[in-house]
Amino acid sequence: MNLKGRDFLKLLDFTPEEIQYLLDLAADLKDKKKNHIAHDYCKGMNVALIFEKTSTRTRCSFEVAAHDLGMGSTYLNPKDSQIGKKETIADTARVLSGMFEGIEYRGYGQDIVDELAKYADVPVWNGLTNEFHPTQILADFLTIREHFGKLKGINFVYMGDARYNMGNSLMVGCAKMGLNFTACAPEEYFPDAALVAECKEIASQSGGSIRLCTDPMEATKGADVIYTDVWVSMGEPVEVWQERIDALGPYEVNQKLMDNAADGCVFMHCLPAYHDLGTEVGKEMGERFGRDHMEVTNDVFESPASIVFQEAENRMHTIKAVMAATLADLD
Ligand code: CP
Ligand code: NVA
């Protein structure tokens, strides 16, 4: 397997064998890190990290992983750089290609990261767009594999806003790797019909399945993993909270759903999560709408079934695998 020079823009561009290879590499790099074994496979290289939206996990993962691989990293945001205001993506791509060995981009439309990759002559990695969040799915799958020892045949249920980056990417990932994917939401929050059709076709090759369901109890029966994400994503206007709470309130993850699932079912979330009133937005929205949580109750979030922090740590190991595989000579 050789992924050197490849972009990492969305999972649809990768075969199940390539995804498997990235997960195996991430597991190996995690093991090396835990055992203090050096793995500076990209010594002397540098990466540019463009963040047009905020981040804790993804930014820290890229920075720590770059450091562990022996690389320098430069963080760029729209406030402190020329990107978007005075310089196009195409020009930025060509400027950064002359100074860096790889470029990460987090921002709005998938077309922007695609454009960056078109004009850059170094690998470009998608750190989240409105449509896809592929590095998150690698972390999620490494976590599921660590927990259950396998991916194939896992009953994976995604609750909530399934038409955005997380719902789309998890559906693609499950289709590729042979999991049974269920999106549970009101119909208007189902993923795009064309993407659903494409994933059904992929799943028919991998032994996985794709199901769309509006009933939370029916969806979660027999679930091994119940996953959710925020109801209002970065870049969406604050005005949509009311309609999201009305539409998605019945799709919150609570103990009743966890009890309805298979024995040993785990709870996962890409984070950040609104599980209590401990954040500025959580408090403001909670008070406005009379709720002490949004997409997941605090008891589920804090329960032993919740593996969200293991999942968050795995962001770093999997992002490191993506950078090492696309930049280094690993053989
Ligand atoms: N899950 C995730 O992408 O987290 P950040 O927004 O903190 O990077
Ligand atoms: N759907 C969320 C994911 C955050 C990791 C967002 O785009 O804000």
Nearest CA to ligand 2 atom 2: 233
The residue behind tokens 């963040």 is 51
**Residue 252 and residue 249: Cα distance in Å, rounded?**
6
From the candidates 57, 269, 275, 315, give the one annotated as an active-site residue: 315
Q: What is the pLDDT, as a whole number, of residue 208?
A: 98
Position 285 confidence tier, pLDDT thresholds 50, 70, 90 = confident
What is the per-residue DSSP string for 289-308?
HT-S-SSB-HHHHTSTTB-H
DSSP conformational letter for 41: T
Nearest CA to ligand 2 atom 7: 233
Q: Is 128 in the pocket of ligand 1 (CB under 6 A)?
A: yes
Position 69 confidence tier, pLDDT thresholds 50, 70, 90 = very high
**Residue 276 and residue 253: Cα distance in Å, rounded?**
13
Q: What is the pLDDT, as a whole number, of residue 98?
A: 98
From the candidates 6, 140, 270, 317, give the one annotated as an active-site residue: 270
The residue behind tokens 């997380």 is 166
**Residue 294 and residue 253: Cα distance in Å, rounded?**
9
The pick from 55, 64, 140, 309 for probing ligand 1's pocket by mutation, whose C-beta has the most ligand atoms within 8 angstroms, reads 55
Q: What is the pLDDT, as a whole number, of residue 159?
A: 98
Average pLDDT over residues 148-177: 98
**Residue 170 and residue 137: Cα distance in Å, rounded?**
6
Taking Cα atoms as reference points, which of 281, 284, 38, 27 lies closest to residue 151?
Answer: 27
Share of the chain above pLDDT 70, in %: 100
Nearest ligand 2 atom to the CA of 164 is 1
The residue behind tokens 């009933």 is 215
What torsion do the CA atoms of 312, 289, 167, 300 make, to the nearest 10 degrees? 50
Share of the chain above pLDDT 90, in %: 95
Q: What is the pLDDT, as a whole number, of residue 162?
A: 98
Q: Which ligand is nearest to the CA of 130?
A: 2
Q: What is the pLDDT, as a whole number, of residue 282?
A: 87
pTM flag (> 0.95): yes
Average pLDDT over residues 114-142: 98
Count CB atoms within 10 A of the CB of residue 205: 11
Question: In whole numbers, what is the pLDDT of the chain averaged over residues?
Answer: 97
Q: Is 271 in the pocket of ligand 1 (CB under 6 A)?
A: yes
From the candidates 6, 42, 68, 136, give the one annotated as an active-site residue: 136
Q: Rounded to the nearest whole angstrom, what is the distance from the C-alpha of residue 309 to the centroid of ligand 1?
A: 12
From the candidates 57, 106, 275, 293, give the one annotated as an active-site residue: 106
Q: Is 242 a catalytic residue?
A: no
Q: Rounded to the nearest whole angstrom, what is the distance from the C-alpha of residue 164 to the centroid of ligand 2?
A: 8
pLDDT one-digit tens code per residue, 70-88: 999 999 998 888 888 899 9
Count CB atoms within 10 A of the CB of residue 234: 17
Average pLDDT over residues 220-232: 98
The pick from 166, 244, 269 for probing ligand 2's pocket by mutation, whose C-beta has the most ligand atoms within 8 angstroms, reads 166
DSSP conformational letter for 164: S
Q: Residue 263 has which token pair?
A: 């024995």
What is the per-residue DSSP string for 81-134?
S-BTTTB-HHHHHHHHHTT-SEEEEE-S-HHHHHHHHHH-SS-EEES--SS--H
Q: Is 111 a catalytic residue?
A: no
Q: Which helix (H) or strand (E) holds 194?
A: helix 193-206
Q: Is 42 a catalytic residue?
A: no
From the candidates 57, 59, 133, 145, give the one annotated as an active-site residue: 133
Q: Residue 328 has which token pair?
A: 């280094």
Q: Is 199 a catalytic residue?
A: no
Helices (H) and strands (E) in the chain, counts: 13, 9
Q: Rounded to the nearest whole angstrom, what is the distance from the C-alpha of residue 205 to the centroid of ligand 1?
A: 31
The pick from 50, 51, 57 for probing ligand 1's pocket by mutation, whose C-beta has the most ligand atoms within 8 angstroms, reads 57
Beta bridge pairs of residue 181: 156, 210
User: Is 42 a residue whose pLDDT tops 80?
Assistant: yes
Q: Rounded to the nearest whole angstrom, what is the distance from the C-alpha of residue 60 to the centroid of ligand 1?
A: 9
Are 275 and 229 a contacting pair, CB within 8 Å? Answer: no
